[in-house]
Structure 1
Amino acid sequence: MKTYEFLKRNALLLLLAAAAGFSGGCNQTEIDMFPADESGIVSTDTQMGYLTDENAQREFVTVEVRERGGGSVSLYLRATKKSGTASEVSLVYAPEVLEAYNEQTGNSFEALPETAVGFSSGKFSLAAGSQQSGELTLDYALTTEQTVGATYVIPVRAEVVSGELKMKSEDAEYLIFLNVVENPGDCDKGEDAAKVFCVMETNDVNPLNLLSFTLDDSGKYLFDALVLFSDNIILDETTGTVHALVNDNIKYILRSILRLCRSVA
C-alpha cells in the first residue's frame, strides 16, 4: 500500500510539472497558422467508374460452390460522381485478366470455361445523375471437370460503350473466385433404419455440431432430425394469462434461416 501511494503521489507531481512546462513554454506567437497550399490540387469533372459486388467489394470476390453445383453473383457499376449524361458499359468474359493476375502473383488458378458462365444482361446502364447501376447477374454452373478442393476463377472486364464515364483498367477488371467444396451428406439410411432424433437447448450448444456425427460405413449423418426447444411458457400473474416466450438464441437461428431462404429464392 505504501509503494502504491508513493508511485501515485510522484506520478501526480510529474504530470503537474509537465503541464506547467507545456503551458509556460508555448505561446501564440510561436504557432504560425498559414492557409494550406492548394496549388497542387487539381479538381476534375471526370466521372470515373468501377466494378463491385453487392457488398461494394472491389477487384474480386470469393464464393463457395458445391461440387457439380452452380450459383450466381451480382455485380454493379458505380461512379465517383454524378454526371448529366447516361452511360452504358458492357461486361465481357476476359481470360487475359486472370492470366495477368497469375503472372503477377505467382499463382496458377484455372479459369472456369466461358461456356459455363452466363449473363442475365451483358450491359450496365448508369442513368444520368446516378452513381450506381442496377445489378447485372452472372450465373455459373460446374461440371464433372471441376474437382473438389480446387478454386476456379471467372474473369470479366467492363468496357464503356457510350456516355462520358471513364474507367481505369484496374477498376474495369473483376475476378470471381469459386471455391469448390464437397456436397453435403444426408441422413437417408434406408426405409428400415431407425430414426434418430436430437432434442437440445441452444443456450450453450451450437446445433451445427450435429453435422459432425456420421456413420463409418456409409458416411450418412447419424441424426435424422433436430428438435429445438423454442418456447418457454410464461404465466403473467397479474392478468392470469399464459404466454409463449421465444429466447434470443432461437430468434437468431430462425432469422438466419429466413435470410438464407430469401437469398436462395
Structure 2
Amino acid sequence: MMKYNISFKRNLILAAVLTVMGMFTACDDSIDVTSVDENQYTTSTDAIGYLVNNAGRRGTSLVEFRNQGQAEIYLASSKNTETDVVANLKFDAEVLDAYNDENNSDYELFPVDLVSFESDFQLSKGSNKSGKTLVQFTTSDALSAEKTYVIPVRAVVKSGNIKLSEKESVYLIFVKDLSTIPTADKANGIKIISCMEVNDTNPLNNLCFTLKESGKPLIDIVILFSANINYNNETGKVYVYNNPNVQHILDNREKYLKPLQDRGMKIVLGILGNHDRAGVSNLADETAKVFAQELKVVCDSYHLDGIFVDDEYSAYQNPVPPGFVAPSSAAASRLCYEAKQAMPDRLVCAYAYGSTSSLPEIDGHQSGEFVDYGIHDYGRSSDLSSNYPGMPKSRMALYSQEFSRGYWASDSDLESMRNDGYGSHMIFAMDPYRNNFDRQKQAMESIASKLFDDELVYDEKPYKKDW
C-alpha cells in the first residue's frame, strides 16, 4: 500500500463543468493487431461494418508523432461478408463538428492538406476484416506542440453487401505533433514511471537522471502523488481537492512541471481518496461523468498529461448515500471510462490495487481500451491481461519499487520483465535527500543496466523542496 500524508485543509480550485461526454474511446495505436470482439453485434443478421484501429478499438485513437506519423485503420464486419466489399476513407470535418457540439469541446482540425490515405479497404467474400489503410500525416510550422488536433474520417462503401451505421462509420484520430519537443522514449520502448511523493519531494529531481549512451532521461512519466477526490457536504458534489503541496506545484507549473515536459516526460495527476464518502470506486454513473469533466478541467488548466486512479483512503458508507453506489470494480471502471471519454488525448492510469486491481468491460469496451497503464502494487509481477482485458504487455508495469520503505526489484526481476515482453516499471518516492539515497541510486542503476543496456548518469544537482 502506498504511503501518503493527507492534508485536510479544503482548497476548492475549480468549479465543475457539468457536461456529459459522448461515446468515443481513445487509445494509443502503436501495438499489434488483435482479434475483434464481435459479441455486441450478434443481434443483427446483416453484416454490420465498423472502423477499428490496429488494436481493434473503435471510435478514437491518439497518435503522437514527430515529423511524420500514421494511424492504421481497418474496416471490420460483425460477420463474414457474402460478397467482396470495397470501401474508402475520406476526411470529413463535419465529424469533428458533431463531436465538439456533443461534448462541449473545441478540438481543432488537423490541416487536411497534411493528410493522405494509402488505399481502399478490401474485404474478400467470406472475410470479416480488411487489410489496413494507413492515414498518413506530416508536420508543419503552423502546428503547435501544446495543442491536440483531430483528423476526422468517415468510411464510405463503394461496392459490396455491408452496412455502416452513422456511429460506426466515423473515426477520430487525435494527433499531437511533438516534432519540436525532445522525447524520453528509449529504443526498446520500455517506460519508467516515477510516482513522486510531492508532500516531501521536488518533482524536478526527475531531471537529475539520464542514460549515458542514449542521453535520454531515465524517467518517462511522472505521477504527482496525490490530489484527492473529496465530497462537499454543502453542495452534495464530489470535486478535486489539492493539498497545499500539490496546489503549489500546479500553480507554479512553469517552474516545477514544464521543465520535465520540455524533456519529453509526461505529467500525470494522482487521484486518491481522502477519508470521506467519496472514492474512485463508488460513484454512480452520472456522478462519474460529472467528476470526469472536472478532471478534464484540472488537466486543461495545468497542462497535465493525464490521471492516475488509486482506490485508497476513502471512508465508504453503508447505507449508500445518494449519488453513490456500493464500492465495486465496475464503478471504478466506469470512472476510468468516463475520464477517457472526457479526455481522449490524455493518459488514464490505474493502480492494480483494491477496486482498481481488475476493471470490467464498460458499454462494450474492454478496460484495456480506456486504461492506458496498469501499474502493479509493490513487487507484484503477474500478467495483467485478465485484470485489464485488451491491454498490451507494453502498458503493464511490473515489479514496482517503493524507495521510502525498501521494496526493491532484483536484477533478475528486471531481466525477467524485459525478457517476457513487459514494457513498464514504476518507482515510488524517489528522493535524493532521503538517507537511503545510495540504495535508491543503486536501484536506478539496475534499471538503466537491465532494462536499457545503459549506464545511469546522476548529475549530483538535486532539487530541494523549496516551498
TM range (shorter): 0.5 to 0.7
1:145 corresponds to? 142
Assess, with a 3 A threshold, how the Cα gap between structure 1 residues 207 and 142 changes in structure 2: closer, same or farther: same
Tell me the TM-score normalized by structure 2.
Answer: 0.33
1:51 maps to which residue? 51
8 Å contact from structure 1 (residues 53, 76) kept in 2: yes
How far 1:210 moved relative to its partner? Answer: 11
Q: Residue 85 of structure 2 aligns with which residue?
A: 87
Question: Which residue matches 1:247?
Answer: 412
Match of 2:62 in 1: 62
Change (3 A) 1:43 1:138: closer
Secondary structure at 1:96's aligned position in 2?
A: helix
2:176 matches 1:179: yes
Q: What is the rounded CA distance, in whole Å, between the counterparts of 1:211 and 1:89 in structure 2?
A: 52
CA RMSD for the aligned pairs? 3.2
Q: Is the 8 A contact 2:47 2:77 kept in 1?
A: yes
Higher strand share: 1
1:253 offset after TM fit, Å? 4.0
- 2:436 maps to none
CA shift, 1:83, in A, is 2.4
Distance in 2 of aligned mates of 1:52 and 1:152:
19
Q: Measured at CA, do residues 250 and 128 of structure 1 come closer, stay the same or move farther in structure 2, by a change above 3 Å? A: same
| Residues 124, 134 of structure 1: 8 Å contact kept | yes
| 1:185-208 deviation per Cα after TM superposition (whole angstroms, max 9, x unaligned) | 69xxxxxxxxxxxxxxxxxxx598
Preserved contact between residue 120 and residue 138 of structure 1 (Cα < 8 Å): yes
Cα distance in 2 for partners of 1:116, 1:131 equals: 31
Structure 1 residue 86 displacement after superposition? 1.1
Q: Distance in 2 between matches of 1:45 and 1:64?
A: 38
Deviation sequence 1:72-109 (CA, Å, 0-9, x none): 11011110111221111111111111111111111111
Unaligned runs of 5+ in 1: 1-41, 187-205, 215-220, 228-245, 258-265
Q: Which amino acid in 2 is paired with 1:250?
A: E
Q: Is the 8 A contact 2:156 2:169 kept in 1?
A: yes
- Which runs of 5 or more structure 2 residues have no equivalent in the other structure? 1-41, 185-191, 195-202, 216-410, 425-467
What is the SS of the residue equivalent to 2:168? helix
1:223 and 1:167, CA in 2 relative to 1: closer, same or farther beyond 3 A?
A: closer
**C-alpha spacing 1:207/1:149, structure 2 compared with 1 (3 Å):** closer
Specify which structure has the bigger relative contact order, considering alpha-carbon pairs within 8 angstroms and separated by 6 or more residues. 1
Cα distance in 2 between the residues matched to 1:126 and 1:185: 38
Shift of 1:223: 5.4
Matched position secondary structure for 2:415: helix
TM-score normalised by the chain length of structure 1: 0.56
Q: Does residue 117 of the first structure (1) align with residue 111 of the second (2)?
A: no
Question: For residues 133 and 115 of structure 2, what CA distance do their matches in structure 1 show?
Answer: 13
Larger deviation: 87-96 or 174-183?
A: 174-183
Instruction: Answer whether contact 1:153 1:176 (CA < 8 A) is retained.
Output: yes
Sort the Cα spacing of 1:159 and 1:247 in 2 relative to 1 into closer, same or farther, 3 A: same
Find the counterpart in structure 1 of residue 76 from structure 2. Answer: 78
Distance in 2 between residues matched to 1:103 and 1:109, nearest whole Å: 10
Matches within 5 A, 1:25-44: 44=44
Q: Distance in 2 between matches of 1:185 and 1:84?
A: 47
CA contact (8 A) 2:79 2:128 kept: yes
Supply the distance in 2 between the matched residues of 1:223 and 1:210 (Cα, whole angstroms): 17
Residues 1:86 and 1:247: Cα distance change in structure 2 (over 3 Å): same
Contact 1:213/1:223, CA 8 A, preserved across alignment: no
Pick aligned residue for 1:136 from 128, 133, 143: 133
Q: Do 2:82 and 2:161's aligned partners in 1 also have CA atoms closer than 8 Å?
A: no
Q: Distance in 1 between matches of 2:416 and 2:204?
A: 19
* Structure 1 match to 2:100: 102
Match of 2:124 in 1: 127
Q: What amino acid maps onto 1:252 in structure 2?
A: M
Shift, 1:142, TM fit: 1.6
1:116-168 CA deviation, whole Å, 9 max, x = no partner?
111121x1011111111111111111211111121000010000100110100
